[in-house]
Each structure stands twice: as structure tokens, then as C-alpha cells.
Amino acid sequence: MNEAPESEPSKLANIRYLYSRAGFGATPVELTDAGRKPLRSVIKQLLTNGKQPFAELYVVDAETNVTKRNLKGMMRDGKLDRDMLKERIRQNVENVRDLNLQWLDRMASGENALLEKMALFWHGHFACRTMGQNPLLMQQYANTLRQNALGNFGELLMAVSKEPAMLQFLNNQQNRKNAPNENFAREVMELFTLGRASNGAPNYSEHDVKEAARAFTGWQFTPTGQFIFRPAVHDDGEKTIFGKTGPFRGEDVMGMLLEKPQTARFITSKIYRFFVNDTEDPKRVDDLARHFQKNYDIASLMERIFTADWFYDAKNVGAHIKSPVELLAGMRHTLGIQFDTPQPQIFVQRTLGQLLFYPPNVAGWPGGKNWIDSSSLLFRMQLPSYVLKAADVAVQPKEDGDVNTVSLARKGGQNFKTTVNWSVFETAFAKTPDADLPDALAAVLLPFPLRPDQRTLIDTQIKSGQTQSERIRLLTAALMSLPEYQLT
Amino acid sequence: MNRRDFLLQSALTTSGTLLIPHFLKAYESRAMGQPMAPSGKILVVVQLSGGNDGLNTVVPYRNDIYYRERPGIAIKPDDVLKLNDEIGLHPAMTPLKALYDDGLLTVINNVGYPNPDRSHFRSMDIWQTATDSDKYSQTGWLGRYLDKSNSPEPYRTLEIDDTLSLALKGEQLNGLALLDPKKLYGQTRSGMVKKLSQEHDHEHETASYLYKTLAETVSSAEYVFGKANVKSTGTTYPASELGNRLKTVSQLIQSGVATSVYYVSISGFDTHINQPGQQERLLRQYAESVGAFMADLKTAGRQNDVMLMTFSEFGRRVKQNASNGTDHGTASNVFLIGGGMPSQRVMNEAPNLSDLTEGDLKYTVDFRQVYATLLRNYLGADDAAILGRKFDALKFV
């Protein structure tokens, strides 16, 4: 990568862009600090931070967690009455909500930013939806994603596939010798590794799916949320998968999948579209995939991307539409925002269509332009007013029809209560002359410099007699309401 | 400055100062006002979210298996509003029975799809995208209808809600969601929205997409608000959420808004526990709202131009559970009301309760046959292009 001396504004722009892609944006202080170092060492730091031991998400103990099914059993045995049952199920749903908010807090904190960003990517890739209101399984699943987010893809694939939450979501508990259920095997191939087809040619046959499903029989989990291989329900006969024959088990299938270059290509393409540009550059992806397949080291792949000159090309900057979680975490991080009550953050996720631990289906969130329609765009542009000015919230998300998640669906219409750490944010602009404030703030908040017409529009926010602090706050809210703020 | 002052200050500075009064006439002057469907017909989709129990909506009141499997929740034969000597409507649906007697209601039994999914979210996805149950799509069937129409504008397909359903998301264009034309118009006039919407050209492709969406939103909101000036005929609607939304639909239709498809949902049908009271309340709300809507259109002389279709993402299991409720099932019934079609009344056979798959009804009509028929024969659209393949038409249009 080019380390020729860059002009200060373009270096600042590159660092801003890097933090917005490899994390959830940067504070002005982070930008200033990083600006003093070579870009390459900033990247190194992001990767190293991501490999440090990290604090697990924690909302519930394995010992005290009781599944809905067991709660119902307790009611049948007379240990719970109906009201207590309802209350316990409600608590389970709230625990999943708290897990969501705890993870969002980590994303917004800026610590291990790349790791959390990568884990969010994997959450969409290894999409798994909360089933049976069991917070323990989602907690384990989330921590497995985070633990392996920048590690080895093969290990991540194996670990997340063996997560009880995933085995449950993909019906592998029902995949038994003599009564195979193909759901798990099919999604492992179609969505986790190979993809359906490459250049029009199918990557696997229906026969491969059927046989692989037999190999995955016996992959089960215990009531306390532990993976267990149950030989009694495993089909130990010979299977023929991808032309090879043997008494394969699930682990063998995973090995075969990793050997296929299509897997490296499929994963690399998805990472490229998430971290670089929704429109794939086939040659670049081919090249990255070739390296990735050698050892499936995720951190090396990310380093190769972030240090490439083309990553900083004008056509990539501002080409990514923030997902709702990226938008929320990013806004919180940049301004040091705390929500005084939990519900608004769930409300925003629901309204904009990305609720953590509730992806729409096994294919994850489609992303890109799919985030945007008339309603979601207007809501996104209003969000700074809701968060920073406690403006009236006049929108209500749909209920998803599931009676068990109504406590996540509580109505909108209430003003957000937030605490914004303005003093830290403002300090960074203490020496900026008033006339330069709009452009200086835009350089921190937006992927592009302000155009003259926008500058004129933004300038109308400034009135004589305002203190600098007032100006910064008004300009920040206005800049965050521009469509460009939705982009990184 | 403390927080309170800041809020006050912000409120003062954002109100109205950034607006400019003139609308871009060039953008507005396109083919607004022409109906999209060549026939001029209008479709109103009412989605019952949560999985409405079809067997207690259209009750097989002569069937012993029905009464045997549902000792706590079955509707008594005497209470059923009889449609023929096999099936009848839930007693809370008197207004729907009246529509049936007027020849305006068609009931299609056993509507579903192969390899049914019992997850609310997934099954609703399947109904909204109209894909096979093992495929995933990012566009909805009505969004694709909009894509392929000859004058695509977001307001051609309109959802009466704050957020837009997948059903109305297309490849090129999305439908428009609004709960109230005035409210959306207000949103597009506030802050910098209107002014920003006039900045079309942007050198960055993704940014232009956002600006294009914004311009379409502002223009559509202005069109619908400007057009929606007709008060209702004076028909009284129930003061329920669905009643209010259908009233809005009726006003927009009577105002001559050039919208071909309206989409409305009502939620709460996930009746695992104590089903009877809850379902009765919801079905009454549904039937009263639809009754008022059809009466309103009749008074306005529009009942033959408007067809209302009602579906739910799945029905429920034949056997009730231990909590006087029902769990997620498969096939269920679809209602078609109005539209000037020759009524088929009850179009096909009642569910066969002695031939089940693991306790669930077998579907005999693919829901995409219903869509295909509506698209081709009612709206005059290319059903195969929109649904990805040809489905056999049904004989209700």
C-alpha cells in the first residue's frame, strides 16, 4: 500500500472511511490520534485489538436458564401456575432483548471495533433466529461468533454449526437415522459455504444434500445447551458425497466443504460486498479468495482488504448503506450517546428492519439498497432529531404476528431519553473558527465533503448570537439528517 | 447551555426555515393521475398476521372430527352463520354473511403451498414474496407488479402503515407506506427533507439512489395529499385500527388517487392460549370494518371496481392444544370480496379432516394461483413474469 505522504484532509478522510467500515465510525479524538500514525499501523491496531481476550456477553446462567418447554412441563407438574409461566416466558424474551442491547453497547463502545463489526457480519451470514425464547442458546451463539470472528473460518464454521441455537433453528434435532431432515445440510452448503451455484453451474447436487444430511445425523444438543454427538441416532452407513464414499460424519462433510475453492470464493465475495462495495469486482475477489483458501485466516483476509489501495478508491467511499445496527451503534459511538431506557433501541431496530437475534430468515439480512424505502429513509433522516432533540416519534413498527415477541414490540410514539456526551465531542472543535465548523464537522460525520448547495442549506442553521457549543450541536444534528450520513 | 435550552433552540431553528415553496414541476408532470391497471380495477389486500385459525373462521359444522378434535373451542352448529350444508362463518362475522348473501363474497378453501413452514416470519415471507418455501427473495409480488407496470410510481401500490412490507418492495422501485396522507406530507415538508429532495444528481451511485428515493417520496406524498380531498360518504366505520385504515383506503379510492393496489394488515391472530375470546374480537373487528368498507364503496358506486382479498400466513392445527388454543398449522382459507366478479360463493371443497399430514390440513390450492388470477384476469398484468412461472388460474374472475 502506498505510504507516500498524503495531504492531511485526504488522510483524515481515509482514516474516517477505515473506521466506518472496519468498525462503527470514529470519534473526533480517535481520528486525531490515528492521524498521527501511518495508516498501516492504524489497521494493525484494529486487527490486534480484535484478537485480544474479550468479555463475553452475559445475561443468563446455564444453571438458572429454563426453556419454555421445561417451564410448560413445570406447569403441568403443578410447580408453576399460569401467571407464573407467563411471567417466566416474558423474562426469557426480555433476556434476549437484554442480550441484544448488551451487544449493541459493545459495538457502540468502540472497543474491539473490528471484532464486533466482523461478528455482526457473521450474524448475518450464519443467520440464526431466536427460537423458543431461549436466551442461553442465543448468548452462546453470539459469543461463539465473537470468539471466532477474526480467527480461522473452518473453526468458526464448525463451532457455529454445532451451536445448539443453530441446530435447533435448522431442525437438526429432528435429523435422525432412518428419518433424515435435510434442512441443516442444505443450508450449510447453500448459505454457509458453497453457495447455490458458481457461474451458472450448481455447486452441489440434491444427492449431495441427502447424503450429507445422513452424515449430520446425531449432531444434537442437551437440554442445558451443550452440543452432543448421539451415536444411537447417527446413520453410520456409507455415504457418497461429492463423489467420495465412506462412513462420513458431519465433521468429514465440513472438511470436504472447506477443500472446495467455491467456499473460499463464496465467503470472500460476501465479505467484499459487506466491507467494500455491494457491487463485486470479480477479479479482486478471485485474487482475495485464492489467498483466503490457503489457511482460511479471516484476520489476514481483512488486513489484505484494508491495506489495499483500491479499498480507498473513490468509487468505494460512500458506496455502503449503513445497516440499522451500524447506524445506531455508529451514532452512539461518535457522540458518546447513552439511552436512558432500553426500549427505543429495540424500536429503532424493528422499525428499520434489523433486530439482532431475529434475522428475517436463514439467508440473513439482504442489506444494501434493500434497507431503503420511502418510510425507512424518512425515519433514518428523522433519527438524529429523535435521539438528540427528543423530537416526537410518530411512527410505529408492525407486529410480527408472533404472540411470544410482543414484549419486544412495544409501541413507538414515546420520546427517546438519551444522554449525549457533548463536551468531549465539542472539545475537538474548540479551535475551529465558526466559519469552518460545517466543513470540519462534515469531515468527521460524512463520507463526502459538503457540496456548495448543501453548505448553503446547512449554514441556515447558524444564527448570530449562538455559542460555539450551540452551533456544533445544531450543525451535527443537521449533518446527521443528510442522506449522506446513511452512507460510509 | 443546558439540555432544555438546547431543545428549545433546536425546535425554533428547524421549524420551517429550510423550506422553499416551489415544487419542481418537471418532476410532477409525469403521468400522474392515470390508473395503472388497464381495467381500472383496484385490489385491496388485507393481511391477518399471526396465523388466523381458518377452521374456526369457516367452520365445518357437520364434521364429527372437527368437534372431536376441538372439545374446548369448536363453534356450535347452532351458532354458525351457514354458507351451505357443510360450512359456515364464525358467529362474529355477520357483516360478512350479509356480503355473502349479496353475492359479493367468495370463499376459497385449503389455500397453501408445498412444504409449508410453520414459522410466522418465514411463512409470511413466502406469502409476500410468492417464492417456493425453500427459496428466498428480496422482492415482493406486488413490488414486482409495480416494477413491471407501465407507469411506475411508488404511490401505485400503497400500504396503509408506517412501515413498508416486503410484499411491496420491488427490484427497481418500492411501493409507498403511509398511515395518513397528511402525516406523510407533513414529514416530507419538515426540516431539510423537501429542499434536499430537489437535489437529484449526485456523482456517487448509492447517494443518487437515496436522493432519488427521497424525491419520489416527496413527490408521491404531495400527489396523494393533494388528491385526497374527498370525505367519506358518511358511512360509519368501527373505531378500530383496521376500520380506520380501510376508511383511509376508501377515501383515497373515492378521491381518484391513481393507486391500483392497497395493502393493510391487522395483527393478533397467534392464538395459542384462550383462543375463543381473542379470535372473536378480531374477526368481529375484521368483519365490521370490511362490511363498512363495502357499504361505503357501494354508496359511492365503486363496489364493482374494488376487490378485497384476505389471507393469513398459515392456518392452525386441526387439534386444539391444552390451553384452549391452537398451534401453528398449514393451509387455510382466502376471502375475495367485491370486484364485480361473478361470485363463486364457496369455490371449492371444504377441508378434508380425515386426510391430514401430521395433524395438518393438506393444501389443494396454491396461493400463487390466487395471485396469478388476480394479476392476469383482474389487474391485467403479466402474471408469469411477476411470479416467475405460470400458475393455473382459478375461476373467480
- 3-state secondary structure at position B283: helix
Which among A353, A457, A473 has CB closest to B18? A457
Band (B8; pLDDT cuts 50, 70, 90): very low
Residues of A in contact with B6 (CB under 8 A): 389, 470, 473
Residues of A in contact with B211 (CB under 8 A): 483
**pLDDT computed for residue A83 by the predictor:** 87
Say yes or no: B161 contacts chain A, CB-CB below 8 A.
yes
Q: Which of A398, A400, A407 best probes binding to B when mutated, by most B CB atoms within 10 angstroms?
A: A398
Q: What is the number of helices (H) and of strands (E) in chain B?
A: 13, 11
**pLDDT computed for residue A403 by the predictor:** 67
Write out pLDDT tens, residues B326-354: 999 999 999 999 999 887 699 999 999 99
| pLDDT, mean of residues A274-297 | 97
Band (A397; pLDDT cuts 50, 70, 90): confident
**The three grid cell numbers given for residue A46, joined into one nine-digit string:** 484494529
Sorted by where each begins, the domain ranges of chain B are 19-387
Do A482 and B188 make contact, defined as CB atoms within 8 angstroms? Answer: no
Do A401 and B313 make contact, defined as CB atoms within 8 angstroms? Answer: yes
Do B49 and A453 make contact, defined as CB atoms within 8 angstroms? Answer: no
Say yes or no: A75 contacts chain B, CB-CB below 8 A.
no
Residues of A in contact with B196 (CB under 8 A): 457, 482-483
Write out pLDDT tens, residues A221-238: 998 899 999 999 999 999
Residues of A in contact with B199 (CB under 8 A): 451, 453-454
Highest mean pLDDT pick, A197-201, A294-298, B1-5: A294-298
Band (B147; pLDDT cuts 50, 70, 90): very high
Q: At what angle do helices B205-227 and B181-189 cross, to 10 degrees?
A: 130
Cβ-Cβ contacts under 8 Å for A373 (sequence gap 6 or more): B164, B169, B174, B175, B177, B213
Supply the ipTM of this predicted assembly: 0.94
Of the listed ranges A22-31, A303-312, A397-406, B302-311, the one predicted with least confidence: A397-406
Of the listed ranges A9-23, A65-79, A348-362, A405-419, the one predicted with least confidence: A405-419
- 3-state secondary structure at position B49: strand
* B 75-94 residues inside an 8 A Cβ radius of A: none
Nearest to B121 by CA among A169, A191, A376: A169
Residues of B in contact with A388 (CB under 8 A): 10
Cβ-Cβ contacts under 8 Å for B8 (sequence gap 6 or more): none
Of the listed ranges A185-194, A236-245, A310-319, A405-414, the one predicted with least confidence: A405-414
Tell me the three-class secondary structure of chain A, residue by residue.
CCCCCCCHHHHHHHHHHHHHHHCCCCCHHHHHHHHCCCHHHHHHHHHHHHHCCCCCCCCCCCCCCCCHHHHHHHHHCCCCCHHHHHHHHHHHHHHHHHHHHHHHHHHHHCCCHHHHHHHHHHHHHCCCCCCCCCHHHHHHHHHHHHHHCCCEHHHHHHHHHCCHHHHHHCCHHHCECCECCCHHHHHHHHHHHCCCEECCEECCCHHHHHHHHHHCCCEEECCCCCEEECHHHCCCCCEEECCEEECCCHHHHHHHHHHCHHHHHHHHHHHHHHHCCCCCCHHHHHHHHHHHHHHCEHHHHHHHHHCCHHHHCCCCCCCCECCHHHHHHHHHHHHCEEECCCHHHHHHHHHHCCCCCCCCCCCCCCCHHHHCCHHHHHHHHHHHHHHHHCCCCCCCCCCCCCHHHHHHCCCCCCCCCEEECHHHHHHCCCCCCHHHHHHHHHHHHCCCCCCHHHHHHHHCCCCCCCCHHHHHHHHHHHHHCCHHHHEC
Nearest CA in chain A to B272: A403
* A 351-390 residues inside an 8 A Cβ radius of B: 351, 353, 358, 360-363, 366, 369-370, 372-378, 381-382, 385, 388-390
**pLDDT computed for residue A130 by the predictor:** 85
Of the listed ranges A43-52, A382-391, B65-74, the one predicted with least confidence: A43-52
Say yes or no: A434 contacts chain B, CB-CB below 8 A.
no
In eight-state DSSP terms, residue B375 is: I
Q: What is the CA radius of gyration of chain B?
A: 23
Q: Which of B180, B192, B193 best probes binding to A when mutated, by most A CB atoms within 10 angstroms?
A: B192
Which among B10, B136, B268 has CB closest to A361? B136
**pLDDT computed for residue B232 by the predictor:** 63
Say yes or no: A423 contacts chain B, CB-CB below 8 A.
no
Evaluated on CA atoms A191, A192, A198, A203, the torsion sign reads negative
Please give the mean pLDDT across all residues of chain B: 88
Say yes or no: A318 contacts chain B, CB-CB below 8 A.
yes
Which among B1, B174, B177 has CB closest to A470? B1
- Residue B152, min C-alpha distance to chain A (Å): 15
Say yes or no: B137 contacts chain A, CB-CB below 8 A.
no
Write out pLDDT tens, residues B180-227: 999 999 999 977 888 888 876 678 899 999 999 999 999 999 999 999
What is the value of pTM for the model shown? Answer: 0.89
Do A374 and B176 make contact, defined as CB atoms within 8 angstroms? Answer: yes
Do A470 and B217 make contact, defined as CB atoms within 8 angstroms? Answer: no
Task: Give the Cα separation of B81 and A276 in Å (integer).
Answer: 60
Using a pLDDT cut of 90, give the percent of chain B over it: 77
Q: What is the CA radius of gyration of chain A?
A: 24
> Which helix (H) or strand (E) covers residue B6, if one does?
helix B3-14
Cβ-Cβ contacts under 8 Å for B13 (sequence gap 6 or more): A461, A463, A474
Residues of B in contact with A321 (CB under 8 A): 206, 210
Band (B10; pLDDT cuts 50, 70, 90): very low
Beta strand B58-59 pairing with B88-89: antiparallel
Band (B267; pLDDT cuts 50, 70, 90): very high
Residues of A in contact with B207 (CB under 8 A): 318, 448, 483-484, 487
Only one residue has cell 403511509, namely: B178
Residues of A in contact with B47 (CB under 8 A): none
Do A400 and B121 make contact, defined as CB atoms within 8 angstroms? Answer: yes
* Residue A128: burial class (beta carbons within 10 Å; 0-12, 13-18, 19+): buried
- Residue A313, min C-alpha distance to chain B (Å): 12
| pLDDT, mean of residues A23-49 | 94
- Residue A48, min C-alpha distance to chain B (Å): 32
In this model, does residue B12 exceed pLDDT 80?
no
| pLDDT, mean of residues A61-85 | 84
Cβ-Cβ contacts under 8 Å for B191 (sequence gap 6 or more): A381, A382, A385, A481, B14, B18
Please give the mean pLDDT across all residues of chain A: 92
Say yes or no: A407 contacts chain B, CB-CB below 8 A.
no
Say yes or no: B207 contacts chain A, CB-CB below 8 A.
yes
Q: State whether CATH 3.40.720 applies to domain B19-387.
A: yes
In this model, does residue B13 exceed pLDDT 80?
no
Do B268 and A486 make contact, defined as CB atoms within 8 angstroms? Answer: no
Q: At what angle do helices A374-389 and A343-352 cross, to 10 degrees?
A: 160
**pLDDT computed for residue A6 by the predictor:** 61
**pLDDT computed for residue A460 by the predictor:** 86
Do B18 and A399 make contact, defined as CB atoms within 8 angstroms? Answer: no
Do A372 and B13 make contact, defined as CB atoms within 8 angstroms? Answer: no
Say yes or no: B271 contacts chain A, CB-CB below 8 A.
yes
Residue B320: φ, ψ to 5°: -70, 165
- Residue B60, min C-alpha distance to chain A (Å): 26
Say yes or no: A316 contacts chain B, CB-CB below 8 A.
no
- Residue A403, min C-alpha distance to chain B (Å): 6
In this model, does residue A263 exceed pLDDT 60?
yes
Which among A360, A377, A378 has CB closest to B121? A360
For chains A and B, count residue pairs whose Cβ atoms are closer than 8 Å.
163
Do B217 and A400 make contact, defined as CB atoms within 8 angstroms? Answer: no
